[in-house]
Amino acid sequence: MELQQAIRQRRSVGKVLDLPVEKEKIERILESAVWAPNHHHTEPWKFFVMTGEGRRVLGRAYANAALESLDGLEAGEKESRLSREEAKAMRAPVVIAVACSPSTNPRVIRSEELAAVHCAVQNMLLTACEEGLGAVWRSGEPMQHPSMKSAFGLKDGEELVGFVYLGYPGMNVPEGRRIAAKDKTFWMS
12 is in an annotated binding site: yes
Distance of CA 7 to the CA centre of its chain: 17
**Phi, psi for 81 (deg, rounded to 5):** -65, -40
Is the CB of residue 152 less than 8 Å from the CB of residue 162? no
111 is in an annotated binding site: no
Tell me how far apart the alpha carbons of residues 131 and 52 are, in angstroms, rounded to a whole number.
20
Neighbouring C-alpha atoms within 13 Å toward the C-beta of 4? 0
Please, what sign has the CA dihedral across residues 153, 155, 156, 162? negative
35 is in an annotated binding site: no
Other CB atoms within 10 Å distance of the CB of residue 172: 8
28 is in an annotated binding site: no
11 is in an annotated binding site: yes
137 is in an annotated binding site: yes
**CA 61 vs CA 22, 58, 79, 87, 134: distances in Å:** 26, 5, 15, 11, 24
147 is in an annotated binding site: no
Annotated binding residues: 10-12, 39, 137-139
Annotated binding residues for FMN: 10-12, 39, 137-139
